[in-house]
Chains A and B, each alone.
Chain A
Amino acid sequence: MENKSGVKKPKIECINISKYFGEGREKIHVLDTINLSVEENEFIVVLGPGQSGKTTLLKIIAGLYRPSTGKACLDGRVITEPGPDRGIVFQRYTLFPWKTVMGNVEMGPKLRGVPRKARREIAGHYIKLVGLSGFENAYPHQLSGGMKQRVGIARAYANNPEVMLLDEPFGQLDAQTRYLMEQETVRIWETEKRTVVFVTNNIEEAVYLGDRIVVLEGKLPGRMKTVYKVDLPRPRDYTDPAFLELRHRITEETELVL
């Protein structure tokens, strides 16, 4: 994606975004002048503790919230509402409980009016990609947390979005499943590259996944503190000295204890 002058245009651009919730005395300042640009197919991690406004930032990019000042752009167009060009994965999974795995994953294409046979094919492809073949007819309540989130990822992918937005997707999983899902995320992303914005409060997860890590300050309003570039080759090793060193550095500099 290059414009006339040959300069690479960012996929996502956040320009001077601030966000307030509430009115008057109950007004809360959640985000303060966020400036961020994300390249196409870049995996960017927004790292911050609870209550640092990182989910708010994600929802602004999603179009679910409007920024109070500034703007978020996708391919140079201002984002004003949610749309299928951005796929989202929620922390609480948020699957449709009355739909099977297949029903959930094919929902995006169904809403676009893709005929049944074609959308089953698309959904089948992504169910396979996330490793859930054989569970097409299971209902969400029959699945474990990790499997539910695989459905969430497949559902977002099935709409063929340009951008994937993940909001602490593994926050509710146990440590073991979390590692597995992180590895799966990298595998899936390398198979089907997308621009990814991944929100987390876990430094290790951030270092494992991100091309760049954007650290938000630990209290409201969320401000951008530091941006780290992660040059380690994938798949990364959690115990690699370079990995541990970066993890250590981020921990010290951000004064997060996790």
Chain B
Amino acid sequence: MDKQACANAPVAEKKPRKPFEYIAAVFKNVYVLYAISIICFLSIWDLVAVMKVFGKFMPRPVEVLQQLGDMFVHPLAGKTLLVHLWFSLKRVLIAFVIAVAIGVPIGLSMGFSPYINAIVKPVFDLFKPMPPIAWISLAILWFGIGETSKIFIIIIGAIVPCIINSYNGIRLVDPELYDCIRMLGGNRRQEILEVTFPAAFPAIFAGIQISLSMAWTTVLAAELVGAREGMGFIIVLGMNLSKPAMIIGGMVVIAFTAWMISLAVTRLERWVCPWKTNLE
């Protein structure tokens, strides 16, 4: 059934190529185009900096790199760049774990029970559209400017996708799968274990993924106010010291870290749900 006949496939004809076709082929290579894209971007940036379009507050790419190297070695406010990064990451991880631990069970119970859903949903719908950053002032009044208020704000930001996706994951399971397992002789407990959870899992996992990137976004906002360490602090310090290279350096590290995290999560997903991701 899987026998694909290759025997009759036409043999690729070898045409003599003109020189300009070789050049055209080079420009059709995606990696060449990626390189062109990055080089163009850096060149324009450099040009803008050298021409002082934004006055003296636009560093050249090289200066940003030097600044990063400097922060990597020399402590800033008593801590090197990696230590600052670690402080931000730690906040994200703590808040993220708490958000998942609270949010997923809430979403699941909303998905399972229409009564719980009817009780939770109106309140949740009221809070859902509030941007987490709006909570900063309140959090500081309640918890002071210490760790607690930062973690609180990140939880507010990260919990929403956990709840929504867990709820929808349960709710949107193909009902015919339930018919199927009941016809195979499954009882209520087996329906939940063998159908509900595995069927809802990819949606729940996607929610956790969104939740993690929300946490990473929110931690910066939280650190912009009254932090003594972390990536948000570096950016604020850069502003206060009028060092744009420090700000942009911070932004680069933040973006790079977010990228690494999402790569790791994608890997994890491939491992935990092979049926979903090994599509060729």
| In the bound complex, CA of A76 to CA of B116 (Å) | 42
Summarize A's interface: helix, strand, loop or mixed.
loop
In the complex, which of the residues B177, B179, B180, B275 has the most CB atoms of chain A within 10 Å of its own CB atom?
B180
Does B185 lie within 8 Å of A139, measured CB to CB?
Answer: no
A98: chain B residues within 8 A (beta carbon): 198-199, 201, 273, 275-276
Does A84 lie within 8 Å of B183, measured CB to CB?
Answer: yes
| In the bound complex, CA of A111 to CA of B188 (Å) | 11
Whether a CB of chain A sits under 8 angstroms from the CB of B129 is no
Whether a CB of chain A sits under 8 angstroms from the CB of B174 is yes
Point out the residue from A84, A96, A131 that lies within 8 Å of B185, measured CB to CB. Answer: A84
Point out the residue from A88, A96, A139 that lies within 8 Å of B195, measured CB to CB. Answer: A96
B187: chain A residues within 8 A (beta carbon): 111
- Contact indicator per residue, chain B 150-183, by CB within 8 Å of chain A (1) or not (0): 0000000000000000000000001011011111
Does B183 lie within 8 Å of A83, measured CB to CB?
Answer: yes
| In the bound complex, CA of A245 to CA of B176 (Å) | 38
Whether a CB of chain A sits under 8 angstroms from the CB of B186 is yes
Does B179 lie within 8 Å of A159, measured CB to CB?
Answer: no
B273 (CB) vs chain A CBs: closest residue: A98
B180: chain A residues within 8 A (beta carbon): 88, 90, 94, 96
| In the bound complex, CA of A146 to CA of B2 (Å) | 12
Interface residues of B in 7-58 (CB under 8 A from A): none
Point out the residue from A83, A86, A139 that lies within 8 Å of B278, measured CB to CB. Answer: A139
Does A64 lie within 8 Å of B182, measured CB to CB?
Answer: yes
Interface residues of A in 38-59 (CB under 8 A from B): none
Interface residues of A in 19-67 (CB under 8 A from B): 62, 64
On chain A, the number of residues with a Cβ less than 8 Å from chain B's Cβ atoms is 29
| In the bound complex, CA of A94 to CA of B180 (Å) | 7
Does A108 lie within 8 Å of B185, measured CB to CB?
Answer: yes
Whether a CB of chain B sits under 8 angstroms from the CB of A141 is yes
Does B194 lie within 8 Å of A107, measured CB to CB?
Answer: yes
A88 (CB) vs chain B CBs: closest residue: B183
Whether a CB of chain A sits under 8 angstroms from the CB of B184 is yes
Does A92 lie within 8 Å of B183, measured CB to CB?
Answer: no
Whether a CB of chain A sits under 8 angstroms from the CB of B122 is no
Interchain pairs with CB closer than 8 A, number: 69
| In the bound complex, CA of A204 to CA of B184 (Å) | 30
Point out the residue from A88, A92, A139, A155 that lies within 8 Å of B274, measured CB to CB. Answer: A139
Whether a CB of chain A sits under 8 angstroms from the CB of B190 is yes
| In the bound complex, CA of A82 to CA of B183 (Å) | 5
B202 CB, min distance to chain A CBs, angstroms: 9
Does A108 lie within 8 Å of B275, measured CB to CB?
Answer: no
Whether a CB of chain B sits under 8 angstroms from the CB of A147 is yes
Whether a CB of chain A sits under 8 angstroms from the CB of B141 is no
A97: chain B residues within 8 A (beta carbon): 199, 275-276
Whether a CB of chain A sits under 8 angstroms from the CB of B6 is no
B279 (CB) vs chain A CBs: closest residue: A141
Asked whether A82 and B279 contact (CB < 8 A) given A112-B185, A139-B274, A144-B1, the answer is: no
| In the bound complex, CA of A97 to CA of B278 (Å) | 12
- Contact indicator per residue, chain A 64-105, by CB within 8 Å of chain B (1) or not (0): 100000000000000001111011101010101111000000
A145 CB, min distance to chain B CBs, angstroms: 12
In the complex, which of the residues A62, A94, A99, A141 has the most CB atoms of chain B within 10 Å of its own CB atom?
A94
| In the bound complex, CA of A99 to CA of B198 (Å) | 9
A91 (CB) vs chain B CBs: closest residue: B176
Point out the residue from B177, B186, B275 that lies within 8 Å of A111, measured CB to CB. Answer: B186
A87 (CB) vs chain B CBs: closest residue: B183
A82: chain B residues within 8 A (beta carbon): 179, 182-183
A111: chain B residues within 8 A (beta carbon): 181, 184-187, 190, 194
| In the bound complex, CA of A99 to CA of B180 (Å) | 14
Does B185 lie within 8 Å of A94, measured CB to CB?
Answer: no
Does A94 lie within 8 Å of B198, measured CB to CB?
Answer: no
A141: chain B residues within 8 A (beta carbon): 275, 279
Does A96 lie within 8 Å of B198, measured CB to CB?
Answer: yes
| In the bound complex, CA of A81 to CA of B183 (Å) | 9
B278: chain A residues within 8 A (beta carbon): 139
Point out the residue from B177, B179, B183, B201 that lies within 8 Å of A96, measured CB to CB. Answer: B177
- Contact indicator per residue, chain B 200-213, by CB within 8 Å of chain A (1) or not (0): 01000000000000
B125 CB, min distance to chain A CBs, angstroms: 29
Pull 12 A–B residue pairs with CB atoms less than 8 Å apart, ordered by A: A64-B182, A83-B183, A83-B185, A84-B183, A87-B183, A96-B180, A96-B194, A97-B276, A98-B273, A107-B181, A108-B184, A108-B185
* Top-4 shortest CB links A-B: A84-B185, A82-B182, A108-B184, A98-B198
Other A-B pairs beyond A96-B195, A112-B185, 16, CB < 8 Å: A64-B179, A88-B179, A88-B180, A90-B179, A94-B176, A96-B198, A97-B199, A97-B275, A98-B201, A98-B276, A107-B181, A108-B184, A111-B186, A111-B187, A139-B275, A144-B1
